[in-house]
Structure 1
Amino acid sequence: MKHITFTVTNDLSFDQRMQRICNSLASNGYRITLVGRKLKSSKPLCQSNYSQKRLYCFFTKGFLFYAEYNIRLFLFLLFQKTDAICAIDLDTILPCLITSKLKNKKRIYDAHELFTELKEVRTRPHIFKIWTLVERISVPHFDYSYTVGQGIANEFNRRYNKHFEIIRNMPLLKSLPKDIQRNEKLLYQGAVNEGRCLEKLIPAMQSLDYKLIVCGSGNFMNQLKELIIKYKVENKIELKGMILPNELFHITQQCALGINLVERGGLNQYLSLANKFFDYIHAGIPQITMNFPEYSFINQQFEIALLIDDVNEETIVTKINGLMTDKVKWKQLHENCLKAREILNWQEEEKRLLSFYNKVFDN
């Protein structure tokens, strides 16, 4: 039984992609350890068929956090018996690279995004230089790599002449209740971070007669709360914070429309294929999303969303009001979601994952 160790910097309770990957591999003959971060607010870990390890850090953000976490992760990996180490994104890649070389173990890179093109990285020159250097000295040394979409895979190939497999972040196909009571509510789920156009969505809520549910947290949360007060829309917005996956799926089903807006400025945003995009599809709710390559390609196949080119308050209001009042169009997109989820699901994507890891150990 081959042992694979995965490394992330987030709280393991809410990382649905890693939960799916680890569960699939553990169910198919691999021994799995998932290493993440322990926070004071961390909820107890759910029982799983793989091992989970949380590393506690004194520092919780910024350079000191990354430095401390990487040191703790290096020490953990150094004494961990494993056959392969998989780094998730750049923020855990250096300990994985060093320990895999020292111990002569297979090393794998799973890029959830184009990390150096994140807005919070790209707009800070000193931070950008550091992460770019980390990428250049590490990614070329990983023999096996995969990512979440074709656009990011193409960019890595352009930068380093390396092939990245595609394993998209699709939900597990689960049955939907036949008697869902959908409310006329809007839903934003996922990271509440810079670059998600929340500074445009919140003022737009002044002209919308619907309630917005926000499920998630991130580096833009304080600014989000300030915007809600500034535009006096406290009665229209409900902040639920971090929600466990099963509860989140239940909440999503009860809403009428999903929101997936992203700034066009950075390459990571332009090439993105967000988790929420598939989560909305699986809950059977249409969405407002970006006219970016990955979203446009899937929408051409299934038409499950209204695409938006220019994110501004007027366009947001027009698109949302238009779809919420056009019951015929809403039902068409809803029915298309139900068809798309039968194809775009983890049961199908899991086949790619297992094929990838079988090749890793066959070699």
Structure 2
Amino acid sequence: MRSNKKIVHMTTVHHPFDPRIYHKECLSIKEAGYDVTLLAQKDPNTGELSEEITHIPLETYDGKLKRMLFAPWQAYKKAKQLDADVYHFHDPELMLVARLLKKKQNVVVYDVHEDFVTSLIKKDYLNKFLKLLIKKSFRTVEKVITKPFKKVLAEKYYQEIYPTGEWVLNYPTVNKKFISHRRDEQPIEDKLIYTGNVDLERGAKIHGNLPNIHPTIQMHFIGKCPRKFADEIEQVAGENVNRIHIQGIDQFIPKEVIEQSYLNTNWLAGVALFPPTDHYLKKELTKFFEYMNAGLPIICSNFDRWKEFIEQYQCGIAVDPYDEQAIYEAIEYLRQNPLEARKMGENGKKAVQEKLNWKTQANHLVELYDEWLSEIK
């Protein structure tokens, strides 16, 4: 019986209310009947997890280096005491302690949220030699350490790196409030929204420049935004800074708050005008699914994969993120064609409700747990 099997999710990096870890994976496998515990840092700003999931808080550390040195071993000690049937970890810095937890009688799962190496070596302060050295060294060490682990992949293209990995894609949970929400009952406003973590690689400066490109548009950021990026966004906006709105400076914004924000305003579009980087060129951006779930058209960068996705689902407009005239025309097209804007939003919502939703992935994850646990009987 599943209720006799203990599953422990472990993260030293992600927020305890991380949408993928908590809201999707932990709650779904709990609903399937497994005994679920989450090892994660405690956030004093958001309170405790719900009673549905047992949360064992980890100590927080000032600075990334301290966290990487001390948090994994703290997680290891607490995890070992739990003697779980499945240890499901979410951060590369936990690889070694996860290997120490691996026994013949349990399953260890490596949840690959992102292409860590591609993300790391894009740092400008690393020269070409160091980038190559880091890439080869990490891949070699990772391959050895994670050999006995099962792997689940949040993104399709990660299978190029982890050929034995199983897709458990980061599709959204269908929000029932979104299903009944009608955008045609009120005028569409000259407001664009960006949700999720804010940084330069996710287009912070490009989005901050939008009020300079269009004379009436207001740009809203809703998600954790370090103060230094907020300052850069406001500097880019210049004299139009009054049309920049940032909710989440140095603070995590819970999933429920973000989802309610989609309903509170009749947004013109959700934006994802990212600069081209290897890290994002191949991704199907999770943000797309979230905007689609809310019934919003998308304005995004015209990377080949992104443009193909937008055209497949007829859910938005893809433009060159550095072409201000093209961005202006995309914004103006949605303003001048509200029926078409609503149609794009409805196309995206339909795709999420019928196909691109978390339920399909949750069922697969539970099936994988069942299969892997049966192998160690």
Question: Once the 2 structures are TM-superposed, how far is the Cα of residue 178 of structure 1 from its aligned partner?
Answer: 3.8
Q: Distance in 2 between matches of 1:93 and 1:19?
A: 23
- Alignment correspondent of 1:58: 61
Distance 1:324 1:165, change over 3 A: farther
- Alignment correspondent of 1:213: 220
For the pair 1:240 / 2:255, whether they are aligned, the reply is no
Select which of 341, 353, 358 maps to 2:352.
341
- Secondary structure of the residue aligned to 1:341 is helix
User: Letter of the aligned partner of 2:32 in structure 1?
Assistant: N
Question: Once the 2 structures are TM-superposed, how far is the Cα of residue 83 of structure 1 from its aligned partner?
Answer: 0.9
Moved more, 200-209 or 187-196: 200-209
Distance 1:218 1:53, change over 3 A: farther
User: Letter of the aligned partner of 2:27 in structure 1?
Assistant: N
For residues 245-296 of structure 1, give each alpha carbon's deviation from its aligned partner in whole angstroms, at most 9, with x where no partner exists.
1221121232221011223222x21122332211100100001123345534
Q: Distance in 1 between matches of 2:99 and 2:45?
A: 28
For residues 295-331 of structure 1, give each alpha carbon's deviation from its aligned partner in whole angstroms, at most 9, with x where no partner exists.
3454343211212344444433332233232223212
Checking the alignment, whether the CA contact within 8 Å between 2:208 and 2:219 is kept in structure 1 is: no
- Alignment correspondent of 1:353: 365
For the pair 1:257 / 2:273, whether they are aligned, the reply is no
Equivalent positions of 1:3-22 (< 5 A) are 3-8=6-11, 9-22=13-26
User: Letter of the aligned partner of 1:327 in structure 2?
Assistant: P
For residues 72-107 of structure 1, give each alpha carbon's deviation from its aligned partner in whole angstroms, at most 9, with x where no partner exists.
222222322201211213133222122225x86311
Distance 1:130 1:4, change over 3 A: farther
Q: Distance in 1 between matches of 2:10 and 2:136?
A: 20
Select which of 296, 318, 327 maps to 2:329.
318
- Alignment correspondent of 1:196: 202
Distance 1:99 1:294, change over 3 A: farther
- Secondary structure of the residue aligned to 1:79 is helix
Moved more, 125-134 or 6-15: 125-134
- Secondary structure of the residue aligned to 1:240 is strand
For residues 1-31 of structure 1, give each alpha carbon's deviation from its aligned partner in whole angstroms, at most 9, with x where no partner exists.
2112112212212434532111111111211
- Alignment correspondent of 2:167: 166
Q: Distance in 2 between matches of 1:273 and 1:91?
A: 25
**What is the TM-score of this pair, normalised by structure 1?**
0.87
Distance 1:262 1:94, change over 3 A: farther
Q: How many aligned residue pairs are there?
A: 353
Checking the alignment, whether the CA contact within 8 Å between 1:108 and 1:142 is kept in structure 2 is: no
Checking the alignment, whether the CA contact within 8 Å between 2:196 and 2:223 is kept in structure 1 is: yes
Gaps of 5+ in 2: none
Select which of 26, 34, 55 maps to 1:30.
34
Q: Distance in 1 between matches of 2:336 and 2:255?
A: 30
Checking the alignment, whether the CA contact within 8 Å between 1:200 and 1:312 is kept in structure 2 is: no
Q: Distance in 2 between matches of 1:354 and 1:294?
A: 29
User: Letter of the aligned partner of 2:287 in structure 1?
Assistant: K
For the pair 1:151 / 2:153, whether they are aligned, the reply is no
Percent identity of paired positions between Structure 1 and Structure 2: 18
User: Letter of the aligned partner of 1:80 in structure 2?
Assistant: L
- Alignment correspondent of 1:280: 291
- Alignment correspondent of 2:50: 47
User: Letter of the aligned partner of 1:28 in structure 2?
Assistant: A
- Secondary structure of the residue aligned to 1:217 is strand
Question: Once the 2 structures are TM-superposed, how far is the Cα of residue 132 of structure 1 from its aligned partner?
Answer: 5.9
- Secondary structure of the residue aligned to 2:102 is helix
Question: Once the 2 structures are TM-superposed, how far is the Cα of residue 191 of structure 1 from its aligned partner?
Answer: 1.2
- Alignment correspondent of 1:91: 93
For residues 146-195 of structure 1, give each alpha carbon's deviation from its aligned partner in whole angstroms, at most 9, with x where no partner exists.
212221222x14xxxx3121111122222234455553311011111231
Question: Once the 2 structures are TM-superposed, how far is the Cα of residue 119 of structure 1 from its aligned partner?
Answer: 5.5
Q: Distance in 2 between matches of 1:12 and 1:69?
A: 14
- Alignment correspondent of 2:82: 80
User: Letter of the aligned partner of 1:353 in structure 2?
Assistant: L
Checking the alignment, whether the CA contact within 8 Å between 1:281 and 1:304 is kept in structure 2 is: yes
